[in-house]
Amino acid sequence: MSLDNFQICDRDLDDDTLTRYLQAEAIAVDTETMGLVLGRDRLCLVQLCDLQGYVTAIQINKGQTEAPNLQKLLEAENITKVFHFARFDVAQFRYTFGIETKPIFCTKIASKLARTYTSNHGLKNLVMELERVELDKSSQSSDWGNAENLSPQQLSYAANDVRYLIGVRAKLTAMLKREGRWELAQQCFDCIPVFVSLDILSYENVFEH
Ligand code: MN
């Protein structure tokens, strides 16, 4: 369990880290929440990681409705925000803070388009195959609401969820380009804000027959 290159921020990114992250071409992003139901289950933690592997975990307070530095980063047009299952996290940011995250790269969508030889598109599987690292997901279902008292195991888990995303993105991008699916992938990423709008209004699937 390594917590190198890792810091915790209270409520928002500090100015120095914002300046650092604004230099990046891409930033990996993940969130931890009280559960999977948007609107019921609040946002607890936001994890960020740059190409050098510098991880920040931002503790979000109950009832908090803004995070101006995080907003500047997530809305910066020249920095790609890399998620695994972006639809969930982007909805959290819009619902909690009114943030319009862009531009987006989703490793789950990229994996589904590129890795058609498997039906395993979970982060653990992706990181194992592409980065040769075994993720410990044992803290996935735990109480993230007690922000000041997160355990070293929880913090390590939270950091690892963003630490490998940039490398995974590079490998999936190469596969998508090789297979002629890069443009389709970008079109899918551009649709994510529409899916978020539908999710916030609780529509099931308006594209089905
Ligand atoms: Mn996570």
CATH numbers and ranges of domains, the chain: 3-136+144-200 (3.30.420.10)
**What six digits make up the tokens of 149?**
């008292």
Span 118-141, pLDDT tens digits: 999 999 999 999 999 999 888 888
CA of 29 to the centre of ligand 1 (A): 9
Task: Name the amino acid, one letter, at 155.
Answer: L
Q: What is the pLDDT of residue 139?
A: 85
CA of 142 to the centre of ligand 1 (A): 11
Q: What does the pLDDT average to over 21-42?
A: 97
- What value does the mean pLDDT of the chain take? 95
Listed residues: CB within 5 A of ion ligand 1: 30, 161
Q: What is the pLDDT of residue 3?
A: 65
**What six digits make up the tokens of 32?**
């931890």
CA of 209 to the centre of ligand 1 (A): 33
Q: What is the pLDDT of residue 2?
A: 52
CA of 140 to the centre of ligand 1 (A): 7
User: What is the spatial distance between Cα 152 and Cα 197, in angstroms, rounded to a whole number?
Assistant: 35
3-state secondary structure at position 74: helix
CA of 104 to the centre of ligand 1 (A): 17
Percent of the chain with pLDDT over 90: 92
Q: Is the pLDDT of residue 84 over 70?
A: yes
Closest residue by Cα to residue 116 from 176, 191, 190, 192: 176
Q: Is the pLDDT of residue 106 over 90?
A: yes
Q: Is 193 left (phi over 0), alpha (psi -120 to 50) or beta?
A: alpha
Q: What is the pLDDT of residue 40?
A: 95
Cβ atoms 105, 74 nearer than 8 A: no
Q: Is the pLDDT of residue 1 over 50?
A: no
Q: Is the pLDDT of residue 103 over 50?
A: yes
Q: What does the pLDDT average to over 21-37?
A: 97
User: What is the spatial distance between Cα 42 and Cα 161, in angstroms, rounded to a whole number?
Assistant: 19
One DSSP character per residue, 159-172 reads HHHHHTHHHHHHHH
CA of 77 to the centre of ligand 1 (A): 24
Q: What does the pLDDT average to over 166-173?
A: 98
Q: What does the pLDDT average to over 17-26?
A: 98
Q: In this predicted structure, which of 123-137, 138-152, 194-208 has the lowest mean pLDDT?
A: 138-152
Q: Is the pLDDT of residue 153 over 80?
A: yes
